[in-house]
Homo-oligomer: A and B are copies of this chain.
Amino acid sequence: MVSIADIAAAVELSTGTVSQILSRRDTRYSERTRVRVQEAAKRLGYRPNAMAKALECGRSNAVGIMFADLVGSLANDILTSALPMLEAAGYHALIGVNLWSPEREEQELETFLERRLEGILALPLDGQQAHYQAIQQAGVPLVFMCDWLPGIPADAVALDGHAAGVTLTNHLLAQGHRRIALISNDNQSEQLHARQAGYRAALLAAGLQPDPTLERLVDGADPDSIKTLILGLTCHPRPPTAIVFPVEAVAWQAMEILCDVPEARRPVVAAVGGLPMSSHRLVSLTTVNEPLAKIGRLAAERLLARMADRQRAPRQQLLRGDLVVRASTAPKKPLAKRKGGAAA
């Protein structure tokens, strides 16, 4: 690989001169020399060695962004808004994927540190505080997106999960539903807990006592778990007429299973999420949308702010998600005549 020394040799100048001309737009060299150097660089296919530069300058000009997976459009939506901000500030972004493996998450974060990234945006795996403690101990600015870890004093930008749970549940209540179940997965994240808490709060606010038999978790290890759960609910002595799903993907699975349930006994469904599949006409799932583009943008801003001033007190920023009512909660046949109106 051609180095600055090769160019220096080619044009018979010192490496210092070549470096100056190539990196900074310095006018203090003669036009002739500048052109000669530029041309030699182009001719030889010179490309600066990012590692040498970072080593010398003491900064990598890069930040890391960590995702659990790249399924759906979540990572894409976040990156689409975050990357331009980071780049405008002169940072390159390294994308890390942990594939839901805590070991992999730790390893990826470790390489972030070894590469001396100057800041990290992360969608954390629940329960892995130790990994992020290491980040903070290393003094690297950290901003959580979409979720956060209790006990880690980092900035966070996320959906207001509690409000989302409330909104979704209120929507169903407004449609006249009184037996509203909730099915989540066994992920212990703060964000999911908030969504679930919102569901309970809305029930209580409506004067309904949350029924623990209607609040269920799918067992991630058992692929049949969701089927068992759903069918179990439809056979419930007092079956639910609606189900809230804090996790959109679980709702999609449920909708498949509900195809086999007679319409009369089929609960309506609604979820927190907002990925494109839910808006597809054949799916038409009512959702409260996680504002991913906004999360990406704000998280990037926040990270840049923190890199500029490391003393700021970390702050959690919770964003409201919009309710999008779709066919999955459209009243097909009039339910019990209580509060007919369509919800906001």
Q: Which residues of A contact B (CB under 8 A)?
A: 1, 45, 47-52, 54-55, 60, 69-73, 75-76, 79-80, 83, 92, 94-97, 99, 110-111, 113-116, 134, 137-138, 252, 255-256, 259, 277, 280-283
From the candidates B60, B79, B99, B138, name the one contacting A80 in the complex (CB within 8 A). Answer: B99
Is A48 a contact of B114 with CB atoms below 8 Å? yes
A281 to B253, CA, bound (A): 9
A-side binding surface: helix, strand, loop or mixed?
mixed
Is B80 a contact of A76 with CB atoms below 8 Å? no
Q: Which residues of B contact A50 (CB under 8 A)?
A: 51, 111, 114-116
A282 to B51, CA, bound (A): 50
A51 to B137, CA, bound (A): 21
Q: Which residues of B contact A1 (CB under 8 A)?
A: 116, 138
Is A76 a contact of B83 with CB atoms below 8 Å? no
A56 to chain B, nearest CB (A): 10
Is B83 a contact of A51 with CB atoms below 8 Å? no
From the candidates B48, B49, B73, B280, name the one contacting A71 in the complex (CB within 8 A). Answer: B73
From the candidates B52, B69, B110, name the one contacting A55 in the complex (CB within 8 A). Answer: B52
> Quick one: given A47-B110, A51-B55, are A70 and B75 in contact (CB under 8 Å)?
yes
A54 to B116, CA, bound (A): 13
Chain A to chain B contacts (Cβ below 8 Å), 22 pairs: A45-B138, A47-B110, A47-B113, A47-B138, A49-B55, A49-B114, A50-B115, A50-B116, A51-B52, A51-B54, A51-B55, A70-B70, A71-B73, A72-B72, A76-B97, A92-B111, A94-B95, A95-B95, A95-B97, A255-B280, A256-B282, A259-B282
8 closest Cβ pairs, A-B complex:
A51-B51, A50-B114, A256-B281, A95-B95, A70-B76, A70-B70, A70-B75, A50-B115
Beyond A45-B134, A55-B55: 8 further Cβ-contacts under 8 Å?
Answer: A45-B137, A45-B138, A51-B55, A71-B73, A94-B94, A256-B281, A259-B282, A283-B283
From the candidates B45, B80, B94, B116, name the one contacting A51 in the complex (CB within 8 A). Answer: B116
A68 to chain B, nearest CB (A): 10
Q: Which residues of B contact A281 (CB under 8 A)?
A: 255-256, 259
From the candidates B47, B138, B283, name the one contacting A114 in the complex (CB within 8 A). Answer: B47
Is A49 a contact of B282 with CB atoms below 8 Å? no
> Quick one: given A51-B54, A70-B70, are A79 and B60 in contact (CB under 8 Å)?
no
